[in-house]
C-alpha cells in the first residue's frame, strides 16, 4: 500500500523506509485514510448512523489495540459508554487474524446484524460466531460488544455458545 499510495513507486521496498524522514510524508499523503484518529462521531450519530466495527485479536497486520484505543477515544470524547452505545458497537474476535481466519470462531455475519439495527432498531447485544473446519462446525461462541467478553457458565460444553454469556471484564 505504501509503495502506491505514499511513494508512487510499485518497486518501492519497505526495507528502504526511513522512519524519521518518511513518516511525515506518509501523514501528508494519507490524510486520515489509513490512520483514522478523529474520535468525534457526533455528526455521524446525529444523522442516525449505526457503526459496527470488528477486529481480530490475532491480527497480524493491524494491531488490535489500535481498534480498542479508537473505541475508548470515541467513548471518552462522548463522555460515557451510554453516549455511544446507541450508534457504535465494536466486536473483538478472539484468535482471528487479519480480516478473518485463525483458530477462533471466525465465521459470523456482521452485515445482518447491522441491517437489523438500521432497519429494525435492534442493536446487537452479541453476534453468533462459529469455527468451521472442512464444512463442519466445531465450536460456537458469542462475540460480545466491547468491552464485554464471552464468559463460560461453568456447565456444558465449552464448544457450545449456549454455555457462554457476555459479561464485563
**Sequential pLDDT tens for the chain (169 residues):** 678 878 888 888 888 888 888 888 888 887 766 667 789 999 999 999 999 999 999 999 888 999 999 999 999 999 999 999 999 999 999 999 998 999 999 999 999 999 999 999 999 999 999 999 999 999 999 999 999 999 999 999 999 999 999 999 8
CB atoms within 10 A of CB 73: 14
The reported pLDDT for the residue numbered 29 is 81
The reported pLDDT for the residue numbered 1 is 64
The reported pLDDT for the residue numbered 43 is 95
How buried is 128 (Cβ within 10 angstroms: 0-12 exposed, 13-18 middle, 19+ buried)? Answer: middle
CB atoms within 10 A of CB 39: 17
The reported pLDDT for the residue numbered 156 is 97
145 phi/psi in degrees, rounded to 5: -70, 130
The reported pLDDT for the residue numbered 33 is 66
Amino acid at each position: 500500500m505504501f509503495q502506491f499510495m505514499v511513494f508512487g513507486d510499485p518497486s518501492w521496498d519497505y526495507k528502504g523506509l526511513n522512519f524519521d524522514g518518511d513518516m511525515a510524508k506518509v501523514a501528508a499523503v494519507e490524510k486520515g485514510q489509513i490512520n483514522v484518529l478523529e474520535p468525534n462521531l457526533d455528526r455521524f450519530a446525529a444523522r442516525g448512523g449505526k457503526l459496527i466495527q470488528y477486529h481480530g485479536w490475532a491480527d497480524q497486520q493491524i494491531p488490535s489495540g489500535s481498534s480498542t484505543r479508537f473505541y475508548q477515544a470515541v467513548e471518552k470524547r462522548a463522555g460515557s459508554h451510554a453516549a455511544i452505545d446507541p450508534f457504535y458497537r465494536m466486536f473483538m474476535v478472539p484468535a482471528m487474524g487479519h480480516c478473518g481466519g485463525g483458530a477462533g470462531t471466525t465465521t459470523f455475519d456482521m452485515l445482518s446484524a447491522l441491517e437489523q439495527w438500521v432497519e429494525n432498531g435492534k442493536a446487537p447485544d452479541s453476534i453468533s460466531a462459529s469455527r468451521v473446519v472442512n464444512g463442519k462446525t466445531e465450536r460456537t461462541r458469542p462475540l460480545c460488544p466491547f468491552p464485554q467478553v464471552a464468559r463460560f457458565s461453568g456447565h456444558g460444553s465449552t464448544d457450545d455458545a449456549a454455555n457462554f454469556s457476555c459479561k464485563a471484564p
